Structure 1
Amino acid sequence: MLKIINGGIETVVEDWPGRIGYLDNGMSSSGAFDNVALGLANVLVGNQPGEAGIEIAGGYFQAEFETDAVISVTGTDMKPTLNNQPIPLWESIKVNKGDVIKFSHFAEFGFRAYIGVAGGIDVPLVLGSKSTCLFGSYGGYEGRKLQKDDVLKFGKPSKDLDSLKGRKLKPEAIPEYSREWVLRAIPGPNTSPDYLTKEGMDYLFANSHKVQLNSNRSAVRLAEASELSFARPDGGVAGSHPSNVLDHAYAIRGSLNICGNTPILLIADGPTLGGYMSALHVINADLWKIGQGTPGRDFIKFVFCTQEEAVEARKQQREWLSEKSLA
């Protein structure tokens, strides 16, 4: 078990792929914002890559172990310590009852850290997932962020703890973090020539877009695209601005919503439908990068991708998030 001393800025329980199959009921998928960091954290401690772990956004999380365990820490380097001594990232370590783990804040690159625990986090399944949906207040630990005095239970490890400690990733398996996050994307469903001009789509792909401060697990808002050119003068019966459309389903996770002149990436807890156009879609294999983009600091760059390339990238990621990545 793990007793929370300080929940930090935003710490939640998340699994992957989250709560699938309920978009038509208005329920988003939720799930880890960075499924690669979660997946590798799980592989290191002998779990399936989609098992529930702890997602720490921003930092300042602190907790005490009430049982022996094997854990791993991945993601941005928040300078984690165990009993005030530094611990390594991207490898599994043994912890003992009474040990205290503590995190500082996000590093120069990246924004979220993850804790994987041998056996996973033991919280109830809600519609097939352990993930927290903050905007619906369900799933995870009581449907909310972790806070002081919460106690998380662990599941049963896949192996003896001593056999799981000391596992490391191959150097090439550790993801590279950056100030500019390159996201492969497929145009549509609301694209040129009907909604944006060719020049408008070129603008989205040719420029870097800064991640704005008012971003969260529902949406990552990008800098206003003042030079974005639309293919129609207005939204017709849907509204006065050409970004307006009659309400339709959003292809979350990864849809680039255009709200006025502001591009907004709809992700984990994003809305399932609305009245704005969606110009492109980030491929599944690159969704993890959105979760590491730091609000107010980092940039997003879209590059064109075909459906065939997207399928192949997803297959490659499945290989990445497996024991083949262990040293």
Structure 2
Amino acid sequence: MLKVINPGIEVIVEDWPGRLGYLGKGMAPSGALDNVALGLANLLVGNPHGEAGIEIAGGYFEAEFGADAVIGIAGSDMQPAVNGQPVPMWESIKVGKGDKIKFSHFGNYGFRTYLAVAGGIDVPVYLGSKSTCIFGSYGGYHGRKLQAGDVLDFGKPARGLEGLGGRKIKKEAIPEYAREWVLRAVPGPNTCPDYVTEEGMNYLFSSAFKIQHSSNRSAYRLQELKEGFFAREDGGVGGSHPSNIVDHAYAMRGALNICGNTPVLLIGDGPTLGGYMCVLSVINADLWKVGQGTPSRDYIRFELCTREEAVMARKDQRALFNEESLA
């Protein structure tokens, strides 16, 4: 078990791929915003791929272990320490009953860190997932962010703890972090020439967009578009602004929604439908980069991608989560 001392900025229980199959009922998939970091942390501690871990956004999380355990930490380097002593990232670590773990704030690169525990986090499975949807108040630990005094139970490890300590992720398997995140994307469904000018789409795929401070788990908001982006004067029957359309489903996760003049990347807890155009979709293999983008600091750049390339990139990413990624 793990008792929360300081809940930090936003610390929640998330798994992967989240709560699938309920978009038609208005329920977002949720799930880890950086599935790669969670996947590698789970690999370190011998958990099945996709098992629930603790997502730490921003930092300042502190907790005490109520039992011996093996943990893995992956993601942004928040200078984790156990009993005041620094501990490595991307490596499994043995901890004992009474040990205290503490994180500082997000590092020079990235914004989220994942803490995996051998056996996973023992919370109820709700509609096929342990993930928290904080905007709907369901899933995870009582449907909310962790608070001081909360106690999380661990599941039963798949193997004995003795052989799990000291496992390391190979250097070449650790993802590269940046301040400008390049996201491969497929255009559509609302694109040129009907909704956006050709110049507007070229602008999208040739510019870096700063992540705005108002970004969260539902959407990452980017800097406003320049003049000449839209191919029409208004939205017709959809509304007065050219970004308006008659309501349709959004391609969750990864749709770039245009809300007025603001591009908005819809991610884990985002809306499932609405009345704004969606001009491109970020490929599944690059969604993790969105979760590591730091609001008010980092930039996002889109790179044109074909569907065939997207499928291959997803297969390559899945190949990461096996024992061959261990040193």
TM-score (norm 1): 0.99
Q: Following the alignment from structure 1 to structure 2, what is the Cα–Cα distance between the partners of residues 63 and 317?
A: 31
What stretches of structure 1 of length at least 5 have no aligned partner? none
Deviation at residue 323 of structure 1 after TM alignment: 1.7
Percentage of matched positions with identical amino acids = 72
SS at match of 1:302: strand
Q: How many residues align?
A: 327
Q: Which residue of 1 aligns with 2:300?
A: 300
Deviation at residue 164 of structure 1 after TM alignment: 0.6
Q: Name the amino acid aligned to 1:5.
A: I
CA contact (8 A) 1:257 1:276 kept: yes
Q: Which residue of 1 aligns with 2:140?
A: 140
CA shift digits 1:91-136 (9 cap, x unpaired):
0000000000000000010000000100100000000000000000
* 1:130 equivalenced with 2:130 (yes/no): yes
What does residue range 34-113 of structure 1 map to in structure 2 within 5 Å? Answer: 34-113=34-113
What does residue range 227-238 of structure 1 map to in structure 2 within 5 Å? Answer: 227-238=227-238
Deviation at residue 321 of structure 1 after TM alignment: 1.9
What does residue range 156-195 of structure 1 map to in structure 2 within 5 Å? Answer: 156-195=156-195
Deviation at residue 228 of structure 1 after TM alignment: 4.9
SS at match of 1:320: coil
Q: Name the amino acid aligned to 1:57.
A: A
Q: Which residue of 2 aligns with 1:23?
A: 23
Deviation at residue 215 of structure 1 after TM alignment: 0.4
Q: Which residue of 2 aligns with 1:119?
A: 119
CA contact (8 A) 1:91 1:169 kept: yes
CA shift digits 1:20-59 (9 cap, x unpaired):
0000000000000000000000000001120000000000
Q: Following the alignment from structure 2 to structure 1, what is the Cα–Cα distance between the partners of residues 194 and 71?
A: 51
SS at match of 2:205: helix
Q: Name the amino acid aligned to 2:224.
A: E
CA contact (8 A) 1:33 1:268 kept: yes
Deviation at residue 260 of structure 1 after TM alignment: 1.1
Q: Following the alignment from structure 2 to structure 1, what is the Cα–Cα distance between the partners of residues 152 and 228?
A: 47
Distance 1:97 1:280, change over 3 A: same
Q: Following the alignment from structure 2 to structure 1, what is the Cα–Cα distance between the partners of residues 177 and 117?
A: 23
Distance 1:118 1:228, change over 3 A: farther
Q: Following the alignment from structure 1 to structure 2, what is the Cα–Cα distance between the partners of residues 227 and 51?
A: 45
Distance 1:250 1:160, change over 3 A: same
Q: Which residue of 2 aligns with 1:203?
A: 203
Q: Following the alignment from structure 2 to structure 1, what is the Cα–Cα distance between the partners of residues 154 and 285?
A: 28
What does residue range 242-321 of structure 1 map to in structure 2 within 5 Å? Answer: 242-321=242-321
CA shift digits 1:55-80 (9 cap, x unpaired):
00000000000000000111000000
CA contact (8 A) 1:15 1:32 kept: yes
Q: Following the alignment from structure 2 to structure 1, what is the Cα–Cα distance between the partners of residues 295 and 274?
A: 24
Q: Which residue of 1 aligns with 2:3?
A: 3
Q: Following the alignment from structure 2 to structure 1, what is the Cα–Cα distance between the partners of residues 229 and 64?
A: 53
CA contact (8 A) 1:203 1:228 kept: no
CA shift digits 1:186-238 (9 cap, x unpaired):
00010111110111100101000000000000000000112351111110011
TM-score (norm 2): 0.99
